[in-house]
Structures are given as structure tokens and as C-alpha cells.
Amino acid sequence: MRELFDNTIRAILADQLSPEQVIAAEGGEFSRALWNSLEENGVPLALVAEDHGGVAASLTDVCGLIITCGEFSAPLPIVETMLANYLLARKGLPPLNGVVSFAAGDELVVNAGGVSGSVANVPWGRHADLILAPAGQSLVVLATGSASRCEEMTNTAGEARDTLFFDGATPEQTIVLDGLASELLLLTGALIRSAQTTGAIMRVLTLAKDYANERVQFGKPIGRFQAVQHQMALLAEQAAMAKASCEVAFARSAMEFHEDSITAAKICAADAAGVAASVSHGVHGAIGFTHEYTLHISTRRLWSWRSEFGSATYWCRRLGDKVCKSGAEQFWPGVVEGGFPSPV
Amino acid sequence: MFIEQFRYHPIPAEAEALRAEVRAFVAEHTAHMSLRQRADSWMGFDADFSRKLGERGWLGMALPRRYGGAEASAFSRYVVIEELLAAGAPVSAHWFSDRQSGLQILHHGSEAQREQFLPAICRGECYFCIGMSEPGSGSDLASIKSKAEKNDQGWLLNGQKVWTTNAHRSHYMIALVRSGESESRHGDMSQFIVDLTLPGITVRPIKDLTGSEHFNEVFFDNVQLPPEALLGKEGEGWSQVTGELAMERSGPERFLSCLILMQAMIAEIGANADALQQREVGRLTARLMTLRQMSLAVTHLLDQGENPSVAASCVKDLGAVFEQELPEIAQLLCDVEPTQSGGSDLAQVMAYLTQQAPSFSLRGGTREILRGIIARGLGLR
Ligand SMILES: Cc1cc2nc3c(=O)[nH]c(=O)nc-3n(C[C@H](O)[C@H](O)[C@H](O)COP(=O)(O)OP(=O)(O)OC[C@H]3O[C@@H](n4cnc5c(N)ncnc54)[C@H](O)[C@@H]3O)c2cc1C
């Protein structure tokens, strides 16, 4: 199934998403035609059970698909929608219709008067029909139309990251969880951003490699200079590390989100992002610093995505605290098992 | 591209099933060792311990049963060696035999050579060292000058090897030497199994910067080798050695050398880590978990008979960076003065590994050589 997904998404994005469209999206446009095409191909329902109209794929099956969305800088919340539907499916609930997004920060308050409070950093919030947001142990589904206000903001790449305000809104659904909803949404967001980051790293690696083979200085392609080769090797190593950590996180989260594997993926991808952006710009010289050349489309997303749903520092501290609390004797067993007990 | 090769390959259940027994065995046999001794990682030499591993069937595990092996998958050996390395067990005596010499003999050796060496390797009684580097040939291995000339009794060997780890306590060396005249730079080399007790061989230990003796210079002065010393085909030495290097570069020893320090550091920090300690310990843990999975992906490829030399170079180079960073980070996080003797366990381990660290990006191929391999793998021309 995985290869089919990879090929389908790559074909759609290569065919229907131009760099101009990505830039236009930064100006606030929503790529409706692309969205419709993704919808027709069942992408929002990939992880949903067959009796709800999906194909019941596993997270491992969609790892490559999400990486590819990152590679193409897909300027819409297709991955967010797919995962939101997955979270509902895990509760046996049917998928949502339309464009869905979610955010992990802030806390909404639910009482007799409805849902109140704000949700910040909602990816593509202004374009979404529905969002998932945390309210303590409850995951609430809200129509964006029920928001009292939308404060528009953008990340470093100009992607919409809006704050939605609710003032006694009536939720479409309220789903009670075993744990904190913010935690579930944070892990979900960290998982997908790691994969998208990996995709963007793969793109800048390819751009830099091709450029290094083409650009001639001192009578030969710059890719023949050892200094350039070694920089590219460092970039490739980081790409490999990001990719490997993502594969593990998706595979191990098949049954339940695997916290420490997702943490490792977010850290490795975020660290790799900085190296990838720096090396790919270095190799490209001045041309890569222009708006016309497409390198910045990916590097500015690297600079954004690495810090969304928890920066490397956030996840490092969280993991480091657990490791220190579980103690030296537990360290190696924890590495082998891929997880450390949460502090009580 | 080779980056696609890094998929998730968990250890199969039958290999994982070995872990508890290995871990208990290792714990029992390392209980008497100090933390500083265990920081020696794969440099600790203990023939008794090697024999005990042989008795358990944990050496030469991938070799066929008829030669004393277990015909186990590469993952079974992986479980055994990672548990040994993580605990800092003394594995040096049999290390090269188990990692590469046995497989090299299985793949390229004659039936007589397999019968002579493989059962002894599996018993943990036959130690090999690796004779590649020479005074004039380090990274540029193809420029070696040691030479074996055919004569009526076999081959007459002259020349010198250097940096040969364990030559002073090994039974045999697999040596790469020139064996004829050839136009091509790579065409006239062969591998030989050299019995280190033969007349004309002098082994001189070289003290490393800490004063310990691990590596050696080895002189060959008209050493008469029998015809059956030739390993594999005459003139095929270069391609044989290339395969051998892939075995050298992919294993968990490339990122577990400093694990004892990681544990000592966590013990020192205790349960209430400050922000900096949390961040650095978390980052190291995430990298280590990922490096291990990358190395398992390479193990899977080797098990499938593929040649993952570029992916293996990635793991080794990232592993060396990780291992070299560890003593630096320990110094950053723990306000401890490292000590060569006396002082706490942590202070001694720090002093020892800080001094060992430079070698991590030299042995098994320098970082520049590995990065060159990766660049070629990327298609940079
Ligand atoms: C602890 C230890 C154990 C060892 N054990 C063994 C053993 O058992 N058997 C064995 O055969 N060898 C062994 N070696 C030797 C090891 O393989 C060599 O040290 C290594 O191959 C490098 O060779 P060199 O030391 O001659 O350095 P050189 O090749 O002289 O390199 C010196 C520096 O120049 C750089 N350099 C060289 N060529 C290039 C190039 N083309 N481009 C860019 N930079 C370059 C290198 O990267 C390095 O930074 C051991 C080494 C150590 C440190």
C-alpha cells in the first residue's frame, strides 16, 4: 500500500502544485483545485476504516506520503486533516467533512455556556472548516465558523498559523480521552512535522546536489571540490538521520503513539533542518538567496517546521528529564526498548 | 538514493529472545570490573571470557553449523554484541575473528582453510588481527608496498604493517599485500593468512598516547609462507578487502564505545537535572536511539546480501561524531576534574575516554575518507 500512496501523492503534487502556487499560498490563497484533487484521491481518509469510506492504512503506510508532502511544500492542511480523521477513527468515530486542522497549545474551557478561550498556531486556520482543539481531557471539534474572531498570523515561511477565539461556541463533538488532549495533539503534530521536515530536507539535498554537479567554477563542477563534497556528505548524513528516526516513529506508533520515538524523530529532524538549510544555501551561493530560485521555499519551511509542535530544545529537555529520572541502570534497556518511563 | 535504505527493521523475535540470557551472562562476568575497565569497550582483552562466549555459541554465529557456527541471522549476532559492548565486556581477543576474519575465510577461503580456522574461531580460541595499514599507506590503502613473491615453497613475504591492533596477542593476521606486477593500481594485491609464529616475523607493540599497548608494528623479513596461506584468489585482494571494510564499518561498536560514560554521567546528574543537563542528555539519547536503528537497517541490508557501503559509512561517521562529543558533553554537564588514577569512577572514565576519543574518527577509516564515500554515493562528480 505504501508504494501506491507514495506514487499517487508524488504524481498529484508534481502535476498540480507549482512553486508559484506555493508562493501564492503565502499571500493567502487557498489551493482549492489541489485540495479537491487530493480529496478525490481519498487522501484525507487514508487512515480511516473501510466502513467509514477510507482504506484503513497504517501510519507506516503514510510515512512516505507525508514526507512527500513536505518535499513539495504542500500549502494546505492535508496532512493535518488526514491525522485528525485518524484520531477520530481511533475512537470509532466517522471522519469529518472538509478541511480540518488542529493545534495543541492553549486550553479551551467547556461549560454549560459552550466552549470559550483561544487556540493559537492553528495551521491554515483561516482556510479550515473544522478544527480539533484541547480542553483538558476532552478533544473538542469546533467549526471555524463558530469562532468569534480569527487573528491571522504566519510562520517564517508565510504559512498561515492563526489564533482562533471562541466565546461560548457550541462544539460539533466532544470526545473524552484517557489522558490530556493537548498531549495527544502535540504528539500528533510532532510526528507529522518530523516527516514534513524530512521531506523538505530531501528536497534541499536534491537541489544542492544537482546544482553542485552543474555549476562550474575554476573550470570544473563545484561538486568536484572536496570541501563542497564534505559539506554535502554532512547534509546527507543529517537527512539519513531524520529519515531513519521518522520511519521508526511512524512504525512504532502503529498501535498507539510511541512517545519517545516521536520525540527522537522531532529532535533529529529539527537538528537536521538547521544543517540542511545552512549547507544547501552555502552550496548554492548567491542564486539560492534569490526569491526566484526555489531553494528558499524549502529552507524557510525548515526554519518553521523544526520549531512547530515543540522545538528540539523542548523535546530534548522532556526526554532528558525522563532519562535522568529513570536512572543510569535503566539507560541501556531504555535505548533498546526505545522508551523510558514517564516521571510520576 | 541510499537514504531510502534507512527503513525500520526491528530485531526479529527469535534474535530478540537471546537478549535476556546474554544480558544476565554479561552482568555476571563484568561484575568484578571497575567502571574504568569497562570503559575500555572493545579494547579489553580476556581470553577466558572469549572462550566462555564460544562455549555459549555466541561467536561466529552466522557461520554454518558444520564449521561450529549457529547459522544465525545477522540480527542474532547484533543482539549479542550490542549487549557485550553496552556493558563494556572484554571482547577484544576474539573481536576481529568474530566480526570479519571468519566471514572472510568463509566467503573466500578453501575448504581446508574453513575447516582449519572456523571451528577454532567459534570456540573463541583463534584470534586474528587485520594487516592493512603500512607506514606509507593509511587512507591510501592501495599504495601498500609489502610484497609476497611466489617461490617453489609458496610465497616469500617481505615488508611491514603498522597500527595492527592486537598483533602481539593474535595467532594470525589477514594481510593485504602486493603479489605480482600489474598495470592497474588495484590489480596486483592478494590477501594472505599469516601465521604470526613463523620465523622472520617481528611484532613490536606501539604505546598509544595513554601509554597502553594495543596496536603494533609488524615486520616481515623473508617470511616463507606455504602455498595454502593465500586467501581467496591471487590478484583479488582489493575487492576482497573492500567487502571486509563493509563489515568493519556498520556495527554498533561505532557508537557504543562511550556508553559507560553516558551511564556514569546520568548517575552523577541524578534525578533532578537542570535545564542544560536535560537538554544535552535528551539530545544524546535521541541520537543514540536513532543511530542504533540506522545500524539495524544496515544489518538488515547485509543480511539480505546487499552492499550497503554508503549507508554504513553514514552510520560510522555519525557514530564517531556522537562518540567524540560524549566526553566533551560530560565535561560540560559535570563539574568534575578528570583523573588518570584515583578519583571517582566518573573522573577516571572521563579522563580515559577523552584521551581515546581522537581515535574514533581514525580507526576503520577517517572521517574525510567516509565523507568522500558518501559524496560519491550522492553522485557528486
Ligand atoms: C586505535 C587505532 C587502531 C588501528 N587498528 C588498525 C588495525 O588493526 N589494522 C590496520 O590495518 N590499521 C589500523 N589502524 C590504522 C587506521 O586504519 C589508519 O589510521 C587510517 O586508515 C588512517 O591512516 P593514517 O593514520 O595513515 O592517516 P593518513 O591517511 O595519513 O591521514 C591523515 C589525515 O589526512 C586525511 N586524508 C588522507 N587522505 C585524504 C584524502 N584523500 N582526502 C582528504 N583527507 C585525506 C585523513 O582523513 C586524516 O585526517 C588503526 C588506527 C588506530 C588509530
Same domain for B267 and B288, yes or no, is yes
CA torsion A4-A9-A15-A21 (nearest 10°) is 180
Q: Which of B73, B99, B126 is the last residue of a domain?
A: B126
Statement to judge: residues B122 and B139 lie in one domain: no
Question: Residue A83 and residue A77: Cα distance in Å, rounded?
Answer: 10
Residue nearest to atom 26 of ligand 1 (CA): B138
A161-169/A149-151 β-pairing? antiparallel
Asked if residue B262 is part of any domain, the answer here is yes
- Asked, for residue B242, whether it belongs to a domain, the answer is no
Atom of ligand 1 nearest to the CA of B166: 8
Instruction: For residues B108 and B61, state if they share a domain.
Output: yes
pLDDT tops 80 at residue B12: yes
> Does residue B41 carry a pLDDT above 90?
no
pLDDT tens across the length of chain A (344 residues):
999 999 999 999 999 999 999 999 999 999 999 999 999 999 999 999 999 999 999 999 999 999 999 999 999 999 999 999 999 999 999 999 999 999 998 789 999 889 999 999 999 999 999 999 999 999 999 999 999 999 999 999 999 999 999 999 999 999 999 999 999 999 999 999 999 999 999 999 999 999 999 999 999 999 999 999 999 999 999 999 999 999 999 999 998 999 999 999 999 999 999 999 999 999 999 999 999 999 999 999 999 999 999 999 999 999 999 999 999 999 999 999 999 988 76
What's the per-residue H, E or C state across chain B? CHHHHCCCCCCCHHHHCCHHHHHHHHHHHHCCCCHHHHCCHHHCCCHHHHHHHHHHCCCCCCCCHHHCCCCCCHHHHHHHHHHHHHHCCCCHHHHHHHHHHHHHHHHHCCHHHHHHHHHHHHHCCCCEEEECCECCECCCHHHCCCEEEEECCEEEEEEEEECCCCHHHCCEEEEEEECCCCCCCCCCEEEEEEECCCCCEEEEEEECCCCCEEEEEEEEEEEEECHHHEECCCCCHHHHHHHHHHHHHCCHHHCCCCHHHHHHHHHHHCCCCCHHHHHHHHHHHHHHHHHHHHHHHHHHHHHCCCCCHHHHHHHHHHHHHHHHHHHHHHHHHCCCCCCCCCCCHHHHHHHHHHHHHHHHHCCCCCHHHHHHHHHHHHCCC
Is the residue at B243 inside a domain? Answer: no
- The distance of A187 to chain B (nearest Cα, Å) reads 16
Domain coverage including residue B361: 250-377
d(CA A301, CA A310): 15
Instruction: Kindly state if the Cβ of B164 falls inside 6 Å of ligand 1.
Output: yes
Write down the pLDDT at residue B320: 96
Alpha-carbon distance values, A307 to A80, A84, A313 (Å):
16, 20, 9
Q: Is B162 in the same domain as B205?
A: yes
Residue at B310: amino acid letter: V
pLDDT of residue B284: 98
Point out the domain boundary residue: B178, B203, B236.
Answer: B236
CA distance B228 to chain A (A): 42
Burial of B355 (0-12, 13-18, 19+ CB in 10 A): middle
* Cα B142 from Cα B187, distance rounded (Å): 10
Q: What is the pLDDT of residue A196?
A: 98
CA distance B85 to B38: 9
**Do B11 and B119 fall within a single domain?**
yes
User: Is A321 in Cβ contact with B282 (below 8 Å)?
Assistant: yes
Pick from B87, B280, B374: which is nearest to A237 by CB?
A: B374
Residue B245 placed within a domain: no
A-B contacts at Cβ under 8 angstroms: 176
**Cα B69 to Cα A49: distance, rounded to the nearest angstrom:** 47
- Cα separation, B39 vs B44, in Å, equals 9
pLDDT tens digits, one per residue of B265-320: 999 999 999 999 999 999 999 999 999 999 999 999 988 988 899 999 999 999 99
* ipTM score: 0.97
Tell me the C-alpha distance between A77 and A159, whole Å.
10
d(CA B264, CA A331): 10
Given B66, B97, B126, the domain boundary residue is B126
Q: Which of B3, B291, B294 sits opposite A236 (nearest CB)?
A: B3
Classify burial at B72, counting beta carbons within 10 Å of its beta carbon; exposed 0-12, middle 13-18, buried 19 or more.
buried
- To test ligand 1's pocket by mutation, which of B164, B366, B373, B380 has the most ligand atoms within 8 angstroms of CB? B366
Domain architecture of chain A: domains with CATH? 2-102+107-176 (1.10.540.10), 181-337 (1.20.140.10)
* Cα dihedral B274, B277, B278, B284 in deg (nearest 10): 180
| Cβ B356 under 6 angstroms from ligand 1 | no
CA distance to partner chain B, nearest, from residue A138 (Å): 30
Tell me the three cell numbers of residue A133.
Answer: 482543539
> Does a structural domain hold residue B99?
yes
Residue B280, in any domain of the structure = yes
Chain A residue with the nearest C-alpha to that of B297:
A244
Work out which ligand 1 atom sits closest to the CA atom of B364: 17
Q: What is the CATH number of the domain that holds B16?
A: 1.10.540.10
pLDDT tens for each residue of B43-102: 899 999 999 999 999 999 999 999 999 999 999 999 999 999 999 999 999 999 999 999
For residues B64 and B104, state if they share a domain: yes
Q: Nearest by CB to A247, from B6, B264, B377: name it.
A: B6
Measured CA distances, A310 to A100, A182, A267, A317, B274 (Å): 21, 12, 9, 11, 19
Mutate to test the interface with B, among A248, A259, A267, A280 (most CBs of B within 10 A): A248
Residue A6 buriedness (CB in 10 A; 0-12 / 13-18 / 19+): middle
Q: How many residues does chain A have?
A: 344
Q: What mean pLDDT value characterizes chain B?
A: 96
Please indicate, yes or no, whether residues B278 and B213 belong to a single structural domain of this protein: no
Query: Does residue B136 sit in the same domain as residue B93?
Result: no
pLDDT of A169 reads 97
Which residue in B3, B8, B279 is closest to A239 by CB distance? B3
Which residue among B133, B164, B216, B359 has the greatest number of ligand 1 atoms within 8 angstroms of its CB, and so is best to mutate?
Answer: B133
- If contacts are CB pairs under 8 Å, which of residues 240-279 in chain A contact chain B? 240-241, 243-245, 247-248, 250-252, 260-261, 263-265, 267-268, 271
Among chain A residues, CA nearest to B82: A336
Q: Which residues pair with A174 in a beta bridge?
A: A140
Residue A236's DSSP bridge partners are none
Chain B hits for A315, CB-CB cut-off 8 Å, are 282, 286
Q: Tell how strand A114-123 and strand A161-169 pair up.
A: antiparallel
Give B369's contacts (C-beta < 8 A, 6+ positions apart). Answer: B139
- Residue of the CA atom closest to atom 27 of ligand 1: B138
B106 with B135, same domain: the answer is no
Question: Ligand 1 pocket, B250 CB below 6 A?
Answer: no
Chain-chain contact of A230 with B378 (C-beta, under 8 angstroms): no
pLDDT digit string, tens, across residues A30-44: 999 999 999 999 999
CA of B83 to the centre of ligand 1 (A): 28
Burial B180-205 (b: 16+ CB within 10 A, else e): eeeeeeeebbbbbbbebeeeebebeb
Q: Is the CB of B58 under 6 A from ligand 1?
A: no
In a domain, B241, yes or no: no
Amino acid identity, position A2? R
Number of domains into which chain B is organized: 3
Tell how far the Cα of B324 is from the centroid of ligand 1, in angstroms.
Answer: 17
We report the CATH number of the domain holding residue B327 as 1.20.140.10
pLDDT at residue A344 in the model: 64
CA distance, residue A222 to nearest chain B CA (Å): 9
Whether B26 and B138 map to the same domain: the answer is no
Cβ(B366) to ligand 1 under 6 A? yes
Predicted local distance difference test score (pLDDT) of residue A261: 98
- What is A115-139 written as a DSSP string? EEEEEEEEETGGG-SEEEEEETTEE
B269 and B368 share one domain: yes
Q: Do B282 and A319 count as a contact with CB atoms less than 8 A apart?
A: yes
Residues B146, B27, single domain; the answer is: no
Distance from CA of A324 to the nearest CA of B (A): 5
B67 domain residue, yes or no: yes
Neighboring chain A residues of B272 at a CB cutoff of 8 Å? 324
Smallest CA separation from ligand 1 atom 51, residue: B363
**Min distance B254 CA to chain A CA atoms (Å):** 15
As a whole number of angstroms, the longest Cα–Cα distance in chain A is 75
pLDDT digits (tens, 9 = 90+) for B139-193: 999 999 999 999 999 999 999 999 999 999 999 999 999 999 877 888 899 999 9
- Are the beta carbons of A268 and B272 separated by less than 8 Å? no
